[in-house]
Amino acid sequence: MNNSSIHPLAPIGPAPASRREELVRALVRGELRFHELPKDLSAEEAAEIRRRALERVTQTPLDNIAHHSLDVQRASRRHCENFIGVAQIPMGVVGPLRVRGRCAEGDFYIPLATTEAALVASTNRGCTAITQAGGAVVRVEDVGMTRAPVFRTSGIVQTQQFLQWIRDHDEDIRKITEGTSHHLKLLEVRPYTFGTTVFLRFRFDSGDAMGMNMATIACDRAVNDLIEPGTGVPCIALSGNYCVDKKPAAINFQEGRGKRIYAEVLLEAPVLHHQLKTNARDLVEVQYRKNLLGSIAAGSMGFNAHYANVLAAFFIATGQDPAHVVEGSMGVTCIESRGPDSVFASIFMPDLPLGAVGGGTALDTQREALAMLGVTPDPERPGDAVTRLAEIVGAVVLAGELSLMAAFTSQDLARAHEKLGRGEIRTPHQP
């Protein structure tokens, strides 16, 4: 076969192996782009052809990227275009962690996927401390998922007419947005205006789903089928950054987004001394100078030790969107002195988008991780599964905070990283 004759829609030839080779060569020569492979190839075949071409172009064997148990059809159609394989991340477990929530009540083993040595060991120590102290009390507010299209008016007069129209049509807006999903409820449309710019910040209850796609689809329908034709005011972007998605932002800190989570525990002297190798006075001082003053000095919105670490590992393990760690990293850890040698520790996470269905939660390993936590949506109790997930996250983030803060008081941090991060690797050939 002449290479230049290959066309993306060429039918399957009598010799699939030679046809695959032709496609690999076409990719290598740049005659075909990775997304232009013929649609009649299976997802596995397409992935293999892309890999083979990449191996030739980059002179890099991709055996490990090829090795996985994913449903390639699903992964490549629903989750990742130009699919070539997987990035594997080690997964560890912490627990048992006692959680005293409304939907999560009991002891949990929690999977964390990370490449950061000492994170799992440290968080596990925090879990033991919390469990020995009787468990973490956790409560969750379902703030809702937000999307804020941005519009351009001709000035103040048209802005006022536009906002009046929005108020007059609140029922129509509710009907059209909620019509896009049985699981969606419109909670609020909040305007914010200046100059010739108007933002409409839509806020939705999205049931057990994180809801970003659902909110986007609902806003798209409302804007295109109702608001633009009804007002004549153009929408400039469906996301006007007043939502605000995947950026740290004061509005999300103050008003919340996704789930707003509170977790707390009282730690008395025996747990502080024996489990966390610390004491109340030192812990309170590190809290004050590090989490509070240090964050003020830096102008940070994360008045905490490392929410992002535990969240990233939890998000990857359970199929959440890792980019939302940016928002989840905001929040406040408090450690207050109680009695002679006890502390009352709490965390506040104002902005945590979470889902028990949708997104990456359907992938096989992520589904197993969620099942370990008993997070399975129940049509009879909408929203309970994701609340359970949020309560478990709250408790494990608190565990991570306590252990790291305690490590600072005993100068354990560098020692732990040195020991665990640069540990000897035993191969089967070593004794």
Q: Which of 13, 80, 23 is nearest to 56 (CA)?
A: 23
Tokens representing residue 174 in the block: 């509710």
Q: Which of the stretches 243-251, 311-319, 353-361, 388-396 binds ligand ADP when contact is defined by CB under 6 A?
A: 353-361
Residue 357 is a binding residue for ligand ADP (CB under 6 A): yes
Residue 203 is a binding residue for ligand ADP (CB under 6 A): no
Distance separating alpha carbons of residues 371 and 362, to the nearest angstrom: 11
Residues near 55 by Cβ (< 8 Å), separated by ≥ 6? 61, 62
Among 101, 111, 355, 360, binds ligand ADP (CB under 6 A): 355
Among 149, 358, 394, 400, binds ligand ADP (CB under 6 A): 358
Of 113 and 184, nearer to ligand ADP (C-beta) is 184
Residue 370 is a binding residue for ligand ADP (CB under 6 A): no
Q: Which of the stretches 110-118, 136-144, 205-213, 338-346 binds ligand ADP when contact is defined by CB under 6 A?
A: 205-213
Residue 258 is a binding residue for ligand ADP (CB under 6 A): no
Which H or E run includes 214?
Answer: helix 212-222
Residues 18-57 that bind ligand ADP (CB under 6 A): none
Closest contact distance (angstroms) between CB of 354 and ligand ADP is: 9
Residue 210 is a binding residue for ligand ADP (CB under 6 A): yes
Q: Which of the stretches 91-99, 225-233, 332-340, 356-364 binds ligand ADP when contact is defined by CB under 6 A?
A: 356-364
Q: What is the DSSP letter of 329?
A: T
* Helix/strand number for the chain, H first, E second: 18, 11
Distance separating alpha carbons of residues 24 and 427, to the nearest angstrom: 36
Q: Are 341 and 268 in contact (CB under 8 A)?
A: yes
Could you please report the per-residue DSSP string of 400-413? Answer: HHHHHHHHHHTTHH
Residue 267 is a binding residue for ligand ADP (CB under 6 A): no
Tokens representing residue 295 in the block: 């964050």
Among 19, 50, 52, 183, binds ligand ADP (CB under 6 A): 183
Residue 400 is a binding residue for ligand ADP (CB under 6 A): no
Residue 376 is a binding residue for ligand ADP (CB under 6 A): no
Residue 337 is a binding residue for ligand ADP (CB under 6 A): no
- Tell me the torsion sign for CA atoms 122, 107, 311, 133: negative
* Cα dihedral: 21, 26, 28, 33 (round 10): -120
Q: How many residues bind ligand ADP (CB under 6 A)?
A: 17
Residue 327 is a binding residue for ligand ADP (CB under 6 A): no
- Catalytic sites, residue numbers: 116, 321, 417
Among 43, 382, 413, 417, binds ligand ADP (CB under 6 A): 382
Where are the extended beta strands (E) located within 80-224?
91-100, 105-113, 136-147, 150-152, 185-194, 197-205
Give the footprint of ligand ADP on this chain (CB under 6 A): 181, 183, 206-214, 355, 357-359, 377, 382
